[in-house]
Copies of this chain bind each other. A is one copy, B any other.
Amino acid sequence: MIKFSAKDIASLIEGEVSGDANYRISKIAKIEEADDESICFIANPKYLQFANTAKAGILLVNKNVEINNPNIHAIIKVNDAYQAFAVLLKAYEKLTQQKTKSGIEQYSVIDASSSYGDNFYLGSFSYVSKNVKIGNNVKIYPNCFIGENTTIGDNTILHAGVKVYQGCIIGSDCIIHSGAVIGSDGFGFIPTTNGFDKIPQTGIVKIGNNVEIGANTTIDRATMGATLIDNGVKLDNLIQIAHNVEIGENTAIAAQSGFSGSTKVGKRVIIGGQVGTVGHIKISDDVKINAKSAVAKNIDPGRAISGVPAVDIKDHFRQMAAIKQLPELIKKVALLEKELAKYQSAIK
């Protein structure tokens, strides 16, 4: 087991050590679970309660935090404990990660018309259809399906069981998690006198670079043109992206949210979980949408919204507070009516 000293760690993350700078730990832990062998951190103020009771080898905190805990052997202070911890996790991951897979495993299928770059991994039970173009360092884990005429950029990873329908384009440096479905038919039907007529979904899904897509998330192909997931977008699990939706650069969306057809979401938008939007609206850049909201109209840049339907987040909280007072208010109004009636008859 490799051990690291407080001094070495501090130098990696530009921190300042107090306590025993030569103290050495061998693992990373959450503060509630830390022991003498661990480094742990506090960034979220909710966890400050553990600061003076925890038992840890090394504790990483923000500069402004005072720690007075004899059970901790060394403290490292940094400007941003969260970010510093991520740097540590990356270093740790590099040291411990599995050897990268490469090669084409038995019981896989790749059509002769398809091409792939260096250092390709194709897991067993994965199927690459005709005319697929795959870049360098692409890793396709077992049980994936890649439809005809698709493109996958360099360094992209498809975890086990990803399904990509025909014609879709996936950029480079993407991570797509198990069970995600890219390019299924958009939900488009024309009502007829005896049911529905399917509208052919002739478009594609186009995913930019450096996109992460969560487990079992579904992204439908466009009716025509493309459903777009732009560079740097992060999608959590079980999200629904309907046909012709566009998600702008560096937007992040939490789990179980859903976007109806042709809605456009701007850049750097932050969207909580279980949000829903109607179709054909525009959510502008830098908007923040609270979890469980329903967005029913265009939203101007930079606004923070919440509620069903979503309104300005301050108005939403004002309304929520008011609803709590409502049962009392009803009583007050009844009393006012009674009082007024009394004075009315008195005056008469």
Binding site for B on A (CB under 8 A): 28-30, 33, 44, 46, 82-83, 86, 89-90, 92-93, 96, 98, 105-107, 109, 123-125, 127, 141-143, 145, 147-148, 159-161, 163, 165-166, 175, 177-179, 181, 184-185, 187, 189-190, 194-200, 202, 210, 212, 214-216, 218, 220, 223-225, 231-232, 234, 236-238, 240, 242, 244, 249-250, 252, 254-256, 258, 260, 273-274, 276, 278, 280, 291-292, 294, 308-309, 311, 315, 318-327, 329-330, 332-333, 336-337, 339-340, 343-344, 346-347
CB < 8 Å neighbour of A83 from B190, B212, B258, B343: B190
Q: Are the C-beta atoms of A326 and B322 separated by less than 8 Å?
A: yes
Query: Top 3 nearest A-B pairs by Cβ distance?
Result: A145-B160, A163-B178, A93-B200
CB < 8 Å neighbour of A199 from B86, B123, B327: B86
Q: Are the C-beta atoms of A29 and B175 separated by less than 8 Å?
A: no
**Assembly of this chain: how many copies?**
3
Provide a sorted-by-A list of 29 A–B residue pairs whose CB atoms are within 8 angstroms. A30-B244, A86-B199, A89-B224, A93-B200, A96-B202, A107-B107, A109-B142, A124-B127, A127-B142, A143-B145, A159-B163, A161-B181, A163-B178, A177-B184, A177-B185, A178-B181, A179-B181, A181-B215, A181-B216, A184-B214, A216-B218, A218-B238, A273-B276, A318-B327, A319-B323, A319-B324, A322-B327, A325-B330, A336-B340
CB distance from A341 to the nearest CB of B (A): 9
Q: Are the C-beta atoms of A250 and B93 separated by less than 8 Å?
A: no
Given contacts A145-B161, A187-B214, A343-B344, 18 further A-B contacts (CB under 8 A): A29-B225, A82-B190, A86-B190, A105-B109, A107-B125, A143-B163, A161-B181, A175-B198, A195-B250, A196-B252, A237-B240, A258-B274, A278-B291, A311-B324, A322-B329, A323-B323, A332-B337, A339-B344
Q: Which of the listed residues A46, A160, A194, A212 has the most CB atoms from chain B within 10 Å of its own CB?
A: A160
Please give, as numbers and ranges, the residues of chain B lying within 8 Å of A318 by CB-CB distance: 327
**Assuming A109-B106, A141-B145, A333-B336, is B127 touching A160 (CB within 8 A)?**
yes
